[in-house]
Structure 1
Amino acid sequence: MKFSAVIAAVSATAVLAAPGAVEKRASFPIPASKGSVTYKAAQSVSGTFDGGLKTYGRGVKCTGQVEGGDKDAVFILEDGATLKNAIIGADQIEGVHCKGSCTIENVWWTAVCEDALSLKGDGNASVIGGGARGAEDKVVQHNGLGTVTIDGFTVVDFGKLYRSCGNCKTMGKRSVVVKNVKAFNGKMLTGINSNKGDTSTITSTCATSVKEICTEFEGTTPGNEPKKISTGASASCKFSTVKAC
């Protein structure tokens, strides 16, 4: 009886400990906010804007997956601009827009609304560090042409980390490089249009409870929905083993 009681106690402890362990693995390491700023209008950034780890928002409620525009963004980065050390609050709709090439460094989204980052213009973009949580659909929406590098990013509870636009007016080759990323509880890490020459290269990345690592679509024209072609490693989806985090 005593031995059975000990076993029962150990089992109960294990059951209680398990949820905590899972919660720890999927934690979102957002830094503590050093203040808050609410903008009445989208803020244009040229050069470099250091947010000092304050939380920035628009004082509005998220409208879900209703497509917004530049007027609904928190920051609009001009070609070549850098946004760093900022927290994007939940009281906004469109997050950050880039008009061309841009650098996003140590930027955190507490609760993604429509998209976290929309790359509107042509040029290469770098997302360094930072993270995003709660994206119903996309975290990074790539509409322009060029290469996006996502390095050292943490993404939790999301639809897609990256999606190359499947039906934009201008379609062409887009590339994404994902490295040193930690992903938890998502539907798709990257989505590309392989018929347009898109490529996705994923290295040194871990994913827990992410259904698809890389998925190929057939890019199409405005008003039409891109068709899913395949998922998994291929000539366009370049990755080997993606381990659990």
Structure 2
Amino acid sequence: MARFISLLCVVLAATASVSSAWPTSKGSVRYKEVKVIKKGETFDGGMKTYQRSDIKCSGQSEGGWRDAVFKLEPGAKLKNVIIGPDQREGVHCDDNDCTVENVWWEDVCEDALSIKGGNKNSVTHVLACGAKNADDKIIQHNGYGHVNINGFYAENFGKLYRSCGTCGNIKRTVALNHVWGYNPK
């Protein structure tokens, strides 16, 4: 517990360089099913709000990638997106080596970003992102490898990052830089 508190203090001390300005949406898009970003592709959402037309948040009930707004294949990049409240899973990186950049979750449901699969050399990048209103965790890391969180604003949240506690002996690491946490629960 003392280690966690020490880490939290270090993380909060490094927050001064992260902006808390929430982006303004430039439009709205609703999907009837998960939008898959193919291997190696980049999806630039133009700072529009994306959500599901067929799913509403149902609290902390566990969903899967089919309940997400976006699913990223290996090497895919999602950028300049606002995730709206009508979704259960936000964004899924179910294989490895995804990048989310300038992605903002207005109202986190079960979790904002799920990272699964990969191998010990997998790296997922979370760059200049933010999330609000997460009853529990924002980023769930159930896979192998490393998650690099560089520039993140979290408001009204339980946990910024959660490493799977029931995934067995799977080595995973995380680096946190320029994180601002406001009103953690």
Task: Quote how far apart the aligned CAs of 1:162 are.
Answer: 0.2
Spell out, residue by residue over 1:134-182, the C-alpha distance to the aligned partner (whole angstroms, 9 max, x if none): 00001000011111011111000101000110002x5311101000111
Q: Which residue of 1 aligns with 2:28?
A: 36
1:71 partner SS: helix
Q: Which residue of 1 aligns with 2:145?
A: 146
1:152 partner SS: strand
Moved >3 Å (runs of 4+): none
> TM (normalized to structure 1)?
0.63
Spell out, residue by residue over 1:101-127, the C-alpha distance to the aligned partner (whole angstroms, 9 max, x if none): 100100000000000000012121110
Q: Which residue of 2 aligns with 1:120?
A: 116
Paired residues of 1:28 and 1:133 also in contact (CA < 8 A): no
Question: Does residue 84 of structure 2 align to residue 92 of structure 1?
Answer: no
Highest RCO, 1 vs 2 (Cα 8 Å, sep ≥ 6)? 2
1:180 partner SS: strand
Q: Which residue of 2 aligns with 1:21?
A: none
**Larger radius of gyration between Structure 1 and Structure 2:** 1
Paired residues of 1:80 and 1:103 also in contact (CA < 8 A): yes
Structure 1: distance between partners of 2:20 and 2:82: 13
Spell out, residue by residue over 1:187-220, the C-alpha distance to the aligned partner (whole angstroms, 9 max, x if none): 4xxxxxxxxxxxxxxxxxxxxxxxxxxxxxxxxx
Structure 2: distance between partners of 1:40 and 1:129: 28
1:129 partner SS: strand
Unpaired runs of at least 5, structure 2: 1-18
Question: Does residue 52 of structure 2 align to residue 58 of structure 1?
Answer: yes
Structure 1: distance between partners of 2:112 and 2:60: 12
Task: Quote how far apart the aligned CAs of 1:61 are.
Answer: 1.8
Spell out, residue by residue over 1:82-103, the C-alpha distance to the aligned partner (whole angstroms, 9 max, x if none): 0000000011110000021100
Structure 1: distance between partners of 2:68 and 2:84: 12
2:66 partner SS: helix
Task: Quote how far apart the aligned CAs of 1:28 are.
Answer: 4.8
Task: Quote how far apart the aligned CAs of 1:29 are.
Answer: 2.0
Q: Which residue of 2 aligns with 1:185?
A: 183
Identity of aligned residues (%): 58
